[in-house]
Structure 1
């Protein structure tokens, strides 16, 4: 099955089955991602990856204070194991047993080992493990940063680039559709603070519904994520500019289309609107 034929819009049963798989998985997120692609071949790979990112981030947020409270114990475990081994996978094994992100575990271990260091110093050690005097710890930190696809400086850069990539994609598709629009930079220069990715110069119709703006989200839209964007962005766009479209490029849980918080005029899509469904004003 080609990627274009795979599902991105999920019903409650499909979404719940994926969440159960993630919640019950024991191991690294990078391995979970690979196994999800085998377990759910009918669902788009980017959809699965985006759901995994959200769930791993939520797990870290919920348990982070507990991770920090166990810093002394976690460091002791590493020191006990490393005293008898030169294995660079010790921290990886601890992360798996504690159901933690390897990079988060490294930060906690380094903060406990080097209590007098500033956050910026710890960040530097994460980026450059060769600066860590303890060779065993350095090797383990390096291995963790290479094995974690959810946390770390490289992951942050990749996610930022992904968001920018889909904003560029949106602008190209809108230009190809002969839409005239202002982008975020144009709107901010005119004094707007919260701005959609595209504000149409002239509204168009999508399946008979008025569209004044389009927002790009390079992720999967679950109910919690969508509500957060409603409160922080989308409702403001609707109040200021009128009806518009939000595109969740990696799909969405079908229930978010029916949320009462959406208000009138918010259209939710998983791709750029098809030209056959668009009507433009004659100028």
Structure 2
């Protein structure tokens, strides 16, 4: 694959809206990357092969592709749990370090945390996922010091799943919700947030619901949803089914912002015809028209 090049002084904005060809090329790179951790793949993508693309878009695409891949292979790894545990214990006899599980994960084509789950589940005969999750969150509770050290190393090395990664994603999501509210106030928009709406008795709520609707390029906007993510067509359709459709049914048309960008086909999907506008940033002030009350 040809590498992209850029001069040191090139500070142009990174691409957020990807064509079908660009998106397919990135997915192909992810699915063809083997033998290293996902963080290595991420660094290759961001720093060498796709340097003109928004880094957070690349990270989201990587996450989505690896999630789909892992979901398809999970049952195979589960069936090999006894063999994987035996391999780990054999390696413990040969090497005295804390990176055994990481090396195994690279060889097996698994995320380190996924391998940790299987090893812990098999070793301690844990049937319920919350019990495994507790050991992952608190490795010091594992009574095998070597295994505890290996699990802890995996927690710091896995950028796709695990309690550390979950916390990071939650913080990023909240950061962009705060950004949305800040930009809305700057634009002079008055709104209810999720807490306000829940107090009013709504269960599924957008991030902000306008007290008075406004027009964006001639279209009525009643709500805005913040997504600290990349909007690929499949993920966007899922968001419509799980959230956005109910917002349209209850409140009318609105906007979803994919802060890290989207696939060029996402805004054109017929599914959006229920009243959904897809953007990559907060609407420009010049595109907004507010109701005059006086």
- Moved beyond 6 Å, runs of 4+: none
Counterpart for residue 30 of structure 1: 39
What are the within-5 Å matches in structure 2 for residues 11-30 of structure 1?
A: 11-26=19-34, 27-30=36-39
Deviation by residue 1:98-124 (Cα, 9 ceiling, x = unmatched): 111101101110111111576444333
What are the within-5 Å matches in structure 2 for residues 75-94 of structure 1?
A: 75-94=85-104
Q: Distance in 2 between matches of 1:116 and 1:203?
A: 52
Say whether residues 1:265 and 2:279 are aligned partners.
no
Residue aligned with 1:151, SS: coil
Say whether residues 1:147 and 2:157 are aligned partners.
yes
Match of 1:193 among 198, 203, 206: 203
> Aligned-pair distance for 1:263?
1.6
What are the within-5 Å matches in structure 2 for residues 140-179 of structure 1?
A: 140-179=150-189
Q: Distance in 2 between matches of 1:158 and 1:110?
A: 24
TM-score, structure 1 as length reference: 0.95
What are the within-5 Å matches in structure 2 for residues 122-141 of structure 1?
A: 122-141=132-151
Change in Cα spacing, 1:140 to 1:212, as seen in structure 2 (3 Å) is same
Counterpart for residue 103 of structure 1: 113
Q: Distance in 2 between matches of 1:102 and 1:116?
A: 18
Q: Distance in 1 between matches of 2:37 and 2:126?
A: 30
Deviation by residue 1:6-26 (Cα, 9 ceiling, x = unmatched): 001111001000000100111
Say whether residues 1:41 and 2:51 are aligned partners.
yes
Could you list the runs of 5+ residues in structure 2 that have no partner in the other structure? 1-9
Q: Distance in 2 between matches of 1:66 and 1:5?
A: 42
Q: Distance in 2 between matches of 1:115 and 1:62?
A: 24
Counterpart for residue 7 of structure 2: none
Say whether residues 1:251 and 2:261 are aligned partners.
yes
> Aligned-pair distance for 1:59?
1.8
Q: How many residues align?
A: 282
TM-score, structure 2 as length reference: 0.91
Residue aligned with 2:229, SS: coil
Q: Which moved more, 1:10-19 or 1:80-89?
A: 80-89
> Aligned-pair distance for 1:266?
1.3
Deviation by residue 1:62-101 (Cα, 9 ceiling, x = unmatched): 2212211110111111111111111322211111111111
Q: Distance in 1 between matches of 2:278 and 2:133?
A: 38
Q: Distance in 1 between matches of 2:162 and 2:186?
A: 36
What are the within-5 Å matches in structure 2 for residues 43-58 of structure 1?
A: 43-58=53-68
For the 8 Å contact 2:232–2:263, the answer to whether it is kept is yes
Counterpart for residue 212 of structure 2: 202
RMSD: 1.5
Match of 2:70 among 60, 66, 73: 60
